[in-house]
Amino acid sequence: MSIAIVTGSAGLIGSEASRHFAKSGLTVVGIDNDMRAEFFGKEASTKWQQSQLEKELGDKYIHVSGDIRDDEMVENLYKKYSSDIKLIVHTAAQPSHDWAARDPKKDFTVNANGTLNLLENSRQFAKDATFIFTSTNKVYGDTPNRLPLIEQELRWEIDPSHQYNNGIPEEMSIDSCMHSLFGASKVAADILVQEYGKYFDMNTAAFRGGCLTGPNHSGTQLHGFLAYLMKCTMTGNPYTVFGYNGKQVRDNIHSYDLIQAFDSFYRAPRSGEVYNIGGSRFSHCSMMEAIQMCEEISGRKLEHSYKEDNRMGDHIWYVSDVSKFQSHYPDWKLTKDVKTILTEIYEHNTERWEEPVT
């Protein structure tokens, strides 16, 4: 039996990974204790996704309600499956820089210590397995805000003559900037993933994602930009835009496209790699543009307000340059742009979210 361990298996990326690799022939051992509900409240719970996975995948999915910081639990799991483990997809995290400031110690232990726990047990019991880590563009801190940016009617945009016009590459420095505490804990995990790959000759990669999204996202105010925006539009809940005149730009990658990238790396792994991964120029938008698309798709107006103060360490403009990954895996390509993603989120969640118009 060939095993894939997926942490955060009931989350957006974890659930997509669980489905994909189970259907590819691996037996998925999913680790998820629904800590997202603790972070963001009941509305962000992933229990519904766990139930769907168990129903859809049957004996190809084994659920473990455990905490990746639990040394004994993780070690026993690795000892149990040992050399049968072929793949680890590590998506479990505390994902919000707002939340991290409330409890920095828990944020760091989940993101950094939890990652170290998984890496060390991989080294001890499944050294030949491929280790894929969902890092974040927040490792670059606020350095992208130093780029020459131009304010337009609905968005900020980079000077078209700049070398990063096609997106931000992996060569951007992660030093001498403000990361947010969340960014700092993810930097620690990111560096550990690189180090274990290079120092111990393991197949590891840190994928520095832009906005990761899709119809299975349990979006909430502090995490899950597009899903929460569409949810507010559909339900009539008010939405708050923070800073930059609502013109801040993000690239958005659908969970399907991200998992296809993970699959490409799994089939031809490398050691200690770092990849910027996101929607790139193919799939990106400003906050104001996203609001317009949500209203157009749903046929409803979004009740939104504006607060001048931007979130600490937040990016004004971030678009991923994915050319390094594409050069290593030329068969991989992006397939879903922002409008397609928002339409999927709307159609997939109509019964759960939409309230009748009165």
> What are the extents of the domains in the chain?
3-351
Alpha-carbon gap, residue 100 to 107, rounded angstroms = 5
Interval 55-91: pLDDT, tens: 999 999 999 999 999 999 999 999 999 999 999 999 9
Interval 117-134: pLDDT, tens: 999 999 999 999 999 999
**Polymer length in residues for the chain:** 358
Find, among 3, 11, 17, the residue nearest to 263 by Cα: 17
Global pTM value: 0.94
What stretches of 169-221 adopt beta strand conformation (E)?
A: 203-209, 211-213
Cα distances (angstroms) measured from residue 7 to each of 30, 88, 154, 225, 256:
6, 8, 38, 22, 17
Residue 172 is predicted with a pLDDT of: 98
What string of DSSP letters covers 4-24?
A: EEEETTTSHHHHHHHHHHHHT
Alpha-carbon gap, residue 173 to 130, rounded angstroms = 26
Architecture in CATH of 3-351: 3-Layer(aba) Sandwich (3.40)
Find, among 44, 209, 48, the residue nearest to 132 by Cα: 209
Q: Are 210 and 140 in contact (CB under 8 A)?
A: no
In the predicted model, what is the mean pLDDT of residues 130-152? 97
- Pairing state between β 249-254 and 317-318: parallel
Residue 281 is predicted with a pLDDT of: 98
Alpha-carbon gap, residue 170 to 23, rounded angstroms = 32
Helix (H) or strand (E) holding 253: strand 249-254
Residue 179 is predicted with a pLDDT of: 92
